[in-house]
Chain A
Amino acid sequence: MAREKRNDDSRRFLDPAVLSRLVRLDLRARQAVEGYLIGLHASPFFGHSVEFVQHREYSPGDDIRHLDWKVWSKSDRFYIKQFEAETNLRSTLLVDCSASMSYGNPAWNKREYASTAAACLAHLLVGQHDSVGMMAHDSDMRLVVPAQSSSRHLEVLLSALEMARPGNTSNILGLLRRAAETIPQRGLVVLFSDLLVDRSALFQGLRMLRQRRHDVLVFHVLDAEEIDFDFRGTTRFEGMEQPDHLLCDPQALRDAYHEVVSEYLLEVRRGCTKIGADYLLVRTDDSLAVVLNKYLSFRGDPRAARARSGQEKG
């Protein structure tokens, strides 16, 4: 009973209502992660080793430090010796900073939620000595923080997240292409976005990441009102990223809206699944435990790993 009570007490820090009262992001992240970890048993995911994978023929530009001189001595040819990650996991957090992310309660809108969730992950990753990088984007790339694993790097990440303010429309394809091109090694790419973008561009970008053997984890952040659409009275809806507006009775449109949203979510979910990206829909009123749980499940599930590897081969 005492154990359960303790768990309940710790999980209250994951409550968005509680976290929304914390102004500083680092506090939020620490509260969330520590609260989460306190509730867990000993982690089974600590410690990773680097292993040789294959040779490949040298091509100009390759680092000559990786030349396998033994092979050269035997065959008089230059081969590069390739290993699995030499370091701990390299993770990159992609945070959507488009205008649509500012929808919702100003103290706890989608951007706040996404930033907090990203901070939580960063805190968790840095605590495991994994390197964490971050990119914030809207129509263009706004912030790029290279991946590092030092504890001081966490402060840089958190500062960067706080600096990232909602801007223009979202250019998801540009972001994902940039991420695919700039992340030098395979790693984990975590996308925090409301995905109110062109789906074909989204799937194309995710496919590019997957082709570079990145593990992709998509946190689809939506506000509760965007799903429930619980409005009353004549309302003029004005687009945040588009110049469109619509004057209507929202109750009359509610059913049709639900249908459209359902179809949209299904399309996104299916698209991500098909590509091999992990997908999770989170609402801004969801506990951050959902996000952390998802991440940890993702890291420790061998089936998921096989599924990912299988899709990579395919």
Chain B
Amino acid sequence: MEILFSLFLHPVAAVIGGLLATLPIIIHLIRRTQYKKQPWAAMEFLLAAQKRMRKRMVLEEWILLALRILVILLVAFLLSRWLGGGAAGVGGEHFVILDDSISMADARNDRGTRKTAFDSAMEEGIRLARKLGATRGIHHLHFFLLSSMNEPVLEGRAGEDLARQAELKLARLKPSYYSLDPTKGIAAAVDKWAASPDALVSSHKILHLITDCRDADFGGQRQEESRRLMTRLVGSGASLRIVDVSDPERPNGSAIPIGHDNLSITGLSCESRIVVEGAATEFVATIKNFGSSPRRTFFHARRDGVEDFSATQPVDEIPPGQEVKVRFTLVLGRNNLGPKISSGDDPMKRDRERLLHRSWVRLTGEIDDQTTTGLAEDNVRDLVVEVVHKVPVLVVDGAGRSGMMPGGDSFHIDAALSALRDFDPEIRTVEELSKTRLELYPIVFMLNVGELPPGEVDRLLNHVSEGASLSWFVGDRTRPAFVNGLFQDKNGLFPVLLAPKPADPISPQEKLDARLLDEQPKILFPDPTHPVVAGVYPNRLDFRFLPVDRHWPAQARFLWDKGNGLVKDIILLANKRWKDDRQRAAFRDKALALVATFPLSNPAEAMFRTGLDSAIRDIREALLSQSQFQLARALEKTLEDGGELADQKTNRPARPGLRQLWSKPPFVATAQAMGELLREVQFGDPLWVERALGRGKVFASMTMAGTKTTLGAVGAEAEGWNEWGSGSPMSWSYAALMKELVRHLLKSGGGDIGSETKSTDLVGNTFELVRDASFLSGGVHERFDPQSPTKVPGFVPESQRIGINFADAPVGGKIRIRVAPSPTPGVLYLKMSPAVVPGQPIPGPEDGELEAFAFNLDANHEGDLRRVRRDLLEIPPPGPGTGRVVLSRPGDGHDSMLEPPRDTSESWWIYLVVFGVLIGEQAMAVFCSHHQRTIKGEGLVKKSPTKGTRVIPLEPVTLGGLP
């Protein structure tokens, strides 16, 4: 039947014609059964005649039969409008894709009324239905929304009826809040035409893509893909008509038309994933100007719907094409206080209390957009943050309870965190980890842990990927095989690869020398601006008194740091002595090569000669010493030399600093090379390292958190690895660094303020929550509060359900909650019923673990209303027989494109063929004596006209002598 549809306009007539074509055969067979009997004497002649005529008769009969069948078929072909093998069509197959991405809500002032690009698209669709109805041929229209290409919103034969339906149906449609790619619509249309049997009916296929033709959709990175898809479409024989409905209308001669200016809030984030109640918390809103001129606006923030004027501020001068970050500080409180959690309670009970009384605050940022054009929907953005009384920090000590004894790892961590008002450490053993609700703890410490069960490793990986931070402190219990496996098999759950064993213990004399005589700082800070060390960096030289006697070295750096920026060094150990003479010789060569570049003989730099001589002297002396530190200090002194003031007493003139020399362009390279050499000389093994993982981060300290070992070893092995936590003049820095570390670990994303957390997603995205089945009963209640912008005209918020899909039964002890894509911006609240735990109070109907998620539109992409260049859309036809791409304005004719080519049944020669076959049939019928013809006067013996006798018209023969 598909083939019939591809060949005929009226396939039913073709089928009937095909059946009628058997009529001559049927008549022939009927006539074979209806005959008269004739006794016949001259059978001999009849059989001979039949034998003589047999082949000819059969051939003639077959030809006649074929001609008669052909006549009927041709007539049937004409009646059923033969299309000629699908090479042409008598109508058109039109896909109309209406771009309903949120950018189509771009409004303009149309004679006092607000009209969007989507409104223009609807009008164009209705106009097209009406116009095609008046165009020659039969045209079928299929209206699709770009957001739902699976099902057409309206389809039918073009005409007034369809236009009226379109007026009724399309008028009710509104643009979605999704960010949609119009080129995906092209791809979908190609696939549909390839898969649809209707596509065979007509080769006159046109895709009408009614869109706002933004550069963000067709240009930039999408340029190649859109061009490839358009080429693929027209290569299949279809044509593409792109209708640009943006305002103002695209002039014919203009390559890049002007578009509407637009301001958007492209981001709203909190400095930390969890906000401490009553603490001042910094928030950042990112506002981008997509227009072509500087813009000003006013920023407002609403907390749970109520404007907080402390955040309200003007935003001055946003340059075109750039963004500004608006920072504001809020002090948030909990809206669900709950009972006081006592440290004496059962740990599981504490977890339960925390979960049942989670509190979320919805923060809405909004900007004023004074213009009447542009997109209003992207001026609002939501954020949800969890507000806690104190941030719970999970501390897992591999030494168990002994780690909580003085000098133990968890003892020192607990002491450091307990001193902070905002953090609430929760110390657990490795065995208790499986009963712990990890989602409660944004920060997890793993102290001197030898190994974890595989299930817990998976939980931790999931937890970190969702935004938590995992902090490792190695120790004497650490098993390198296990942690290295975490690096390789678990996407870097441990940030480095450890060497097979820790550094050897040092002798008591070395310890004493290190504490009393060694001037070298024991730890170095490669990035002084890093938030963890920025506070202690000014005291960096004091760390010569910090004893770090043992650490666990990392493997060669290239094995675990690919240079992609994922791994960051926070603290490094200092190199102490040359490893061997070869290393020393190598550094000496490098240093001397650098010294050789110093401008000693340059008269223009003669004023630096004294400083340079002093620096060269220091470097040469350092190269003679056994300590790398000496060379590092000489290099650092050379780089940081500030010069000397004049001394009146000794009549010494002022000496300019070498920093002045290195700032000169000819010597910048020398200074950089010196800096590289300095880092190479002084930076040793990593001590504190962090690495981004998913939405969260992992941290590792290569030395112990405590001051004592716990394995019960004897001798040097039993000595503590450091005296950072206590017993050292620099122990004060332990608490300070820990404070900054947990605050850093609490920060969302990669640690830089401004990135949004897991709780913020885009409309149209679906995600999945994985929770432990042992803690939840499976019941979930949802509530969705849509965004309620105060500045969007005509916006009527309505509460709705977005649908949640649960697995019927827990799989592998997990409950998977699939959250369907939200069609509108807003905040989704999920209240998950807890499971009944023996020994714990049965949860009431109001009890539930609350989680909130904010959905925003993709303002970064959709807010950019700049329009694409004409040449990116109007691609030339790839070859003969292919379709074409035209860029048109609403209401443009393109009649030649819309009108289908003439089909075969309209050709004059097909009628000529029918006429010829008909004549042939008649001639053949007469020839085969199947038509009436006179036989009077014929025959072998004719009657003599005169004598009334008959003569035989044969050759003259002698009849027995008669004439």
Residues of chain A having any CB pair with chain B under 8 Å = 99-101, 103, 110, 194, 196, 217, 223, 226-228, 230-231, 233-242, 244-249, 251-262, 264-266, 269-270, 272-273, 276-281, 283, 286-287, 290, 294, 297-298, 301, 303-304, 307-308
Contact = CB atoms under 8 A, between A and B. Distances in A.
Given A235-B38, A261-B45, A278 B930 contact: no
B37 interface: yes
A257 B36 contact: no
Given A226-B42, A237-B38, A259 B959 contact: no
B834 to A, nearest CB: 95
A223 B939 CA distance: 13
B512 interface: no
A196 B959 contact: no
Contact of A281 (B39, B61, B941): B941
B957 A266 contact: yes
A194 B940 contact: no
Given A273-B960, A286-B949, A253 B50 contact: yes
A247 B49 contact: no
Contacts of B940: 227-228, 258, 261-262, 265
B27 to A, nearest CB: 11
A240 B961 contact: no
Contacts of A238: 37-40
Interface string B26-59: 0000011011111111111111111011000100
Contact of A257 (B45, B952, B955, B960): B45
Contact of A269 (B39, B52, B57, B957): B957
B41 A103 contact: yes
Contact of A253 (B41, B46, B939, B960): B46
Contacts of A246: 43, 46-47, 50
B45 A240 contact: no
Chain B interface bracket (under 10, 10 to 19, 20 to 34, 35 or more): 35 or more
Given A242-B44, A248-B50, A253-B50, 5 more contacts: A103-B39, A223-B41, A228-B940, A235-B37, A249-B930
Nearest 9 A/B pairs, CB to CB: A278-B960, A100-B41, A256-B49, A251-B929, A239-B43, A237-B40, A304-B961, A234-B35, A103-B41
A269 B42 CA distance: 17
A255 B643 CA distance: 135
Contact of B949 (A247, A261, A276, A290): A290
Given A234-B31, A261-B940, A304-B961, A103 B40 contact: yes
Given A257-B46, A279-B959, A286-B950, A194 B57 contact: no
Contacts of A244: 43, 47
17 contacts: A223-B41, A226-B41, A235-B36, A237-B38, A245-B43, A256-B53, A258-B939, A258-B940, A259-B49, A260-B45, A260-B52, A265-B952, A269-B954, A272-B960, A281-B941, A283-B941, A301-B962
Interface of B: 31-32, 34-50, 52-53, 57, 60-61, 928-930, 935, 938-941, 948-950, 952, 954-955, 957-962
Nearest to B36: A235
Contacts of A256: 49-50, 52-53
A297 B31 contact: no
A275 to B, nearest CB: 10
Contacts of B41: 99-101, 103, 110, 194, 196, 223, 226, 239-241
Nearest to B958: A273
A286 B31 CA distance: 35
Contact of A252 (B34, B53, B958): B53
Given A239-B43, A259-B52, A260-B52, A279 B38 contact: no
A285 to B, nearest CB: 8
A77 to B, nearest CB: 40
A287 to B, nearest CB: 7
Contacts of B38: 231, 235-238
A196 B41 CA distance: 8
A264 B957 CA distance: 14
B53 A233 contact: no
A228 B938 CA distance: 8
Nearest to B51: A256
Contacts of A308: 960-961
Contacts of A279: 959-960
B700 to A, nearest CB: 105
B953 to A, nearest CB: 9
Contacts of B935: 228, 230, 254
A249 B928 CA distance: 10
Given A226-B41, A266-B957, A251 B930 contact: yes
A103 B304 CA distance: 119
B48 A260 contact: yes
Contacts of B42: 100, 196, 226, 261
A167 to B, nearest CB: 14
Contact of B954 (A257, A262, A294): A262
B53 A301 contact: no
Nearest to A218: B960
Nearest to A231: B38
A201 B959 CA distance: 20
A241 to B, nearest CB: 7
A265 to B, nearest CB: 7
A157 B653 CA distance: 183
Contact of A266 (B47, B60, B61, B954): B954
Contacts of B46: 237, 246, 248, 253, 257
Contacts of A269: 954, 957, 959
B960 A283 contact: no
Query: Which of A101, A110, A265, A308 has its CB near the most chain B CB atoms (within 10 A)?
Result: A265
B704 to A, nearest CB: 115
Contacts of B36: 233-236
A252 B166 CA distance: 66
Contact of B961 (A100, A234, A255, A301): A301
Contacts of B957: 266, 269-270, 273
Which of A244, A253, A297 gathers the greatest number of chain B CB atoms within 10 Å? A253
A269 B952 CA distance: 11
Contacts of A231: 38
A242 B43 contact: yes
Contacts of B952: 265, 281
A260 B34 CA distance: 27
Nearest to A223: B41
Contacts of B43: 237, 239-242, 244-246
B955 to A, nearest CB: 7
Nearest to B938: A228
Contacts of A230: 935, 939
B813 to A, nearest CB: 88
